[in-house]
């Protein structure tokens, strides 16, 4: 049966090799048609077990990109090492490259494949699905516009699916096809397909992926790959190849922001001085006023020169040579932009970095950073957080190891003209090169630059727009009357293991049972939602607390008692919290115990991880905890049990007039 299907598709003829009539008119018409094709680069993610190699082999085979001698070689190999049945071609072998890999039965690097149809030329970046090869996937993804994420229909969304999707999102790929493969092994079940689709949609909501298409298929049998399969009548969408041929990619390019990094200065004689480069984004016209970065000087485009003659305008990604009306000092590494549309120019950048070598990335070590045509020296100042690529969760880190991803703050020896990667991949991307080994060790995507606001300033910053707050029609006194309490924030502070959270929740229970309106704000909970973009650096801890204080204030404004449990190691930041909420509405309670007790109680092993350097800037270990100067209450939690702590807090609240006895 499968053999019949193949021949049916072959006869359909959709490729370079399609049956064309052997007359001259045909070949000329064919060439004219094929000279107008668009180029689409896509990535395939999945493991051999998902049928990825088979899918690629299928695309190449069914578009007749495989020559007979290559096919014959694969047929020979199929008998020796193939995993398909006797006499069948193992299409996966078409994409295996190096000898050693073939012997191991795995693909270990990024391999590029080419095929074309009447509409488009395609470049496939084939990347492996194994754990240790995050770096290869990032490499493959960096040049792609679309990604195909393979899921084995029998197993559904797996850890590697999450990992692949995260990297695809991180590298800014705009279009995703989720290929739910091996549908033949689940009886072409619509339920299975829909369940996987729902699972995937649920998980991917956390990522910056928007254009997602789901296609059920069997690469082995060629169903919904090149032509539509009648085994899945419930699927109304196009087969994979139709989608690849028609997905709208023209809008992906940034044609708004002119960025022209100077690559090479062409100076054949004294009369000509041309600045050669690739227009990375935007459109450049003859006569445009341009700004030279980093100098900030201005000039005007005199001509846009190419081998075919001068152009009136040029656009991304054309490679051209520009001459200017004035003699200016401009060389490789500089950039031309429009004066009304400038990138950030900063020597302080924040970026997501994928680390690609055994020797970890650590603060303070200098690396060569290459962005556009510029090279500078860069070093890590601090880590905001690391990302677990399997769960997409953030965690504190002190270094970045092989195949790890982290949010990093970098300091540069010279400023870069750059944009956030999301808005401009060409000026937002960089590589890091080890200065001893000369190896490419990291790939970076700029998130923001130092010229944009830092979290440290936010406490005092004025809102960016003028705001007119409105007064509630419910008076504060009305709320006090209804709840029979004065709103207050109980600020429980102290090191990890000091008992804050236990006390907070016990206190909440006690107050609730007394009929109070009360709620706990717990640091870790805040970090899962509102503050999940924050890490554990001093700045991020400060911002975590600022936002939490804003929430506490709102809750207090609503008349509720708020119990806030935070490490809050800095006296200055705690002072700001009190100012923000209102000093007379905060009770600062310091929970403390000797370090050995804290370590004993530490159920998550945070201290041990900090000792091992797995957590950076851990208060009490690798960062300071400033004891409060004048807390409202100190609870020595190694000496007083939780009940008694709660008693003391309740007594304090009453003595300060926030509640009456009931």
Site for another protein in 18-77 (CB under 8 A): 20, 22, 24, 26-28, 30-31, 34-39, 67-70
In whole angstroms, the minimum distance from the beta carbon of 69 to another protein comes to 5
HSE-up (13 A, CA, CB side) for residue 640: 19
Q: Number of residues interacting with another protein: please give it, by CB under 8 A.
A: 85
81 binds another protein per the rule CB under 8 A? no
In whole angstroms, the minimum distance from the beta carbon of 23 to another protein comes to 9
Look at residues 55, 62, 49, 51 and name the one whose alpha carbon lies nearest to residue 5: 62
Applying the rule CB under 8 A, the residues between 403 and 462 that interact with another protein are 425-426, 429-431, 433, 438-440, 443
Q: Which of 81, 255, 362, 475 binds another protein (CB under 8 A)?
A: 255
In whole angstroms, the minimum distance from the beta carbon of 58 to another protein comes to 17
The span of 99-107, 219-227, 345-353, 538-546 binding another protein (CB under 8 A) equals 99-107
Q: Which of 75, 121, 395, 547 binds another protein (CB under 8 A)?
A: 121
Query: Rounded distance, CA 526 to CA 521, Å?
Result: 7
What DSSP element (H or E) covers 620?
none
Query: Rounded distance, CA 393 to CA 524, Å?
Result: 12
In whole angstroms, the minimum distance from the beta carbon of 263 to another protein comes to 5
Applying the rule CB under 8 A, the residues between 263 and 292 that interact with another protein are 263-264, 266-268, 272, 274, 276-278, 283, 285, 288
Applying the rule CB under 8 A, the residues between 139 and 158 that interact with another protein are 139, 142-143
Count of CB atoms within 10 A of residue 197's CB? 18
Look at residues 416, 294, 400, 353 and name the one whose alpha carbon lies nearest to residue 167: 353
530 binds another protein per the rule CB under 8 A? no
In whole angstroms, the minimum distance from the beta carbon of 146 to another protein comes to 15
The DSSP bridge partners found for residue 146 are 42, 175
Nearer to another protein, 27 or 554 (CB): 27
In whole angstroms, the minimum distance from the beta carbon of 492 to another protein comes to 46
In whole angstroms, the minimum distance from the beta carbon of 244 to another protein comes to 14
Q: Are 427 and 371 in contact (CB under 8 A)?
A: yes
120 binds another protein per the rule CB under 8 A? yes
In whole angstroms, the minimum distance from the beta carbon of 392 to another protein comes to 21
What DSSP element (H or E) covers 556?
helix 538-557
Number of H helices, E strands in the chain: 18, 28
Applying the rule CB under 8 A, the residues between 543 and 582 that interact with another protein are none
Count of CB atoms within 10 A of residue 562's CB? 26
Distances in Å between the alpha carbon of 379 and those of 408, 456, 564? Answer: 10, 21, 37
Distances in Å between the alpha carbon of 628 and those of 71, 161, 499, 581? Answer: 75, 47, 17, 18
131 binds another protein per the rule CB under 8 A? no
Rg over CA atoms, the chain? 31
189 binds another protein per the rule CB under 8 A? no
655 binds another protein per the rule CB under 8 A? no
Query: Rounded distance, CA 394 to CA 532, Å?
Result: 7
Query: What string marks each residue from 207 to 246 as x (binds another protein by CB under 8 A) or -?
Result: ----------------------------------------
Nearer to another protein, 316 or 507 (CB): 316
The DSSP bridge partners found for residue 367 are 378
The DSSP bridge partners found for residue 519 are 562
402 binds another protein per the rule CB under 8 A? no
111 binds another protein per the rule CB under 8 A? yes
Q: Which of 44, 53, 63, 116 binds another protein (CB under 8 A)?
A: 116
334 binds another protein per the rule CB under 8 A? no
Distances in Å between the alpha carbon of 380 and those of 169, 333, 362, 613? Answer: 24, 22, 7, 16
In whole angstroms, the minimum distance from the beta carbon of 335 to another protein comes to 15
Query: Rounded distance, CA 251 to CA 145, Å?
Result: 11
In whole angstroms, the minimum distance from the beta carbon of 315 to another protein comes to 5
- Positive or negative CA dihedral for 447, 449, 455, 458? negative
Applying the rule CB under 8 A, the residues between 298 and 317 that interact with another protein are 305-307, 313, 315-317
Distances in Å between the alpha carbon of 533 and those of 81, 221, 228, 386, 406? Answer: 48, 44, 42, 11, 12
């Amino acid at each position: 049966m499968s053999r019949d299907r193949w021949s049916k598709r072959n006869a359909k003829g959709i490729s370079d090799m399609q049956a064309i009539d052997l007359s001259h008119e045909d070949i000329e018409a064919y060439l004219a048609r094929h000279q107008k094709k668009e180029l689409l680069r896509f990535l395939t993610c999945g493991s051999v077990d998902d049928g990825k190699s088979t899918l690629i082999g299928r695309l190449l085979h069914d578009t007749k990109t495989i020559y007979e001698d290559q096919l014959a070689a694969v047929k020979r190999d199929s008998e020796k090492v193939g995993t398909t049945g006797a006499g069948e071609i193992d299409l996966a072998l078409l994409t295996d490259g190096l000898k050693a890999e073939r012997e191991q039965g795995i693909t270990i690097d990024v391999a590029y494949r080419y095929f074309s149809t009447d509409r488009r030329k395609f470049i496939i970046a084939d990347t492996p699905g194994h754990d240790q090869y995050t770096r290869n996937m990032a490499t493959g993804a960096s040049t792609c516009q679309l990604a195909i994420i393979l899921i084995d229909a029998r197993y559904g969304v797996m850890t590697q699916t999450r990992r692949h999707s995260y990297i695809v999102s991180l590298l800014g790929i705009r279009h995703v096809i989720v290929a739910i493969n091996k549908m033949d092994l689940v009886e072409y079940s619509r339920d299975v397909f829909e369940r996987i689709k729902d699972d995937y949609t649920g998980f991917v909501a956390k990522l910056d992926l928007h254009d997602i298409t789901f296609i059920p298929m069997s690469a082995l049998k060629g169903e919904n790959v090149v032509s539509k399969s009648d085994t899945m009548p419930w699927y109304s969408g196009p087969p994979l190849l139709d989608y690849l041929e028609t997905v709208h990619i023209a809008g992906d390019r940034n044609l708004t922001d002119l960025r022209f990094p100077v690559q090479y200065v062409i100076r054949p004689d004294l009369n000509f001085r041309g600045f050669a480069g690739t227009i990375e984004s935007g459109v450049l016209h003859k006569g445009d006023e341009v700004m030279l970065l980093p100098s900030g000087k201005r000039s005007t485009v005199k001509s846009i020169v190419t081998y075919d003659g001068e152009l009136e305008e040029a656009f991304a990604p054309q490679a051209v040579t520009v001459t200017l009306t004035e003699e200016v000092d401009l060389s490789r590494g500089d950039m031309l932009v429009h004066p009304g549309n400038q990138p950030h120019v900063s020597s302080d950048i924040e970026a997501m970095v994928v680390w690609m070598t055994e020797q970890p990335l650590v603060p303070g070590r200098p690396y060569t950073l290459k962005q556009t045509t510029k090279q500078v020296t860069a070093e890590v100042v601090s880590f905001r957080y690391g990302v677990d690529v399997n769960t997409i969760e953030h965690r504190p880190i002190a270094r970045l190891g092989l195949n790890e991803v982290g949010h990093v703050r970098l300091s540069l020896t010279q400023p870069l003209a750059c944009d956030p990667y999301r808005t401009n991949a060409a000026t937002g991307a960089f590589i890091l090169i080890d200065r001893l080994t000369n190896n490419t060790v990291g790939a970076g995507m700029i998130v923001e630059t130092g010229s944009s606001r830092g979290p440290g300033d936010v406490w005092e910053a004025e809102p960016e727009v003028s705001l007119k707050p409105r007064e509630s029609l419910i008076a504060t006194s009305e709320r006090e009357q209804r709840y029979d309490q004065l709103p207050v924030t109980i600020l429980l502070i102290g090191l990890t293991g000091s008992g804050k959270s236990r006390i907070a929740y016990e206190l909440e229970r006690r107050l609730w049972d007394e009929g109070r309106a009360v709620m706990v704000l717990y640091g870790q909970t805040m970090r899962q939602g509102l503050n999940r973009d924050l890490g554990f650096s001093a700045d991020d801890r400060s911002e975590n607390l600022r936002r939490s204080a804003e929430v506490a204030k709102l809750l207090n404004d609503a008349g509720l008692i708020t119990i806030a449990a935070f490490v809050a190691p800095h006296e200055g930041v705690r002072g700001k919290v009190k100012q923000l909420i209102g000093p007379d509405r905060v009770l600062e309670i310091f929970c403390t115990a000797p370090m050995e007790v804290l370590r004993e109680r530490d159920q998550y092993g945070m201290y041990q991880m900090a000792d091992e350097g797995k957590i950076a800037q851990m208060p009490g270990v690798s960062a300071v905890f400033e004891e409060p100067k004048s807390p409202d209450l100190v609870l020595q939690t190694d000496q007083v049990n939780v009940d008694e702590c709660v008693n003391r807090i309740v007594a304090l609240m009453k003595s300060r007039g926030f509640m009456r006895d009931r």
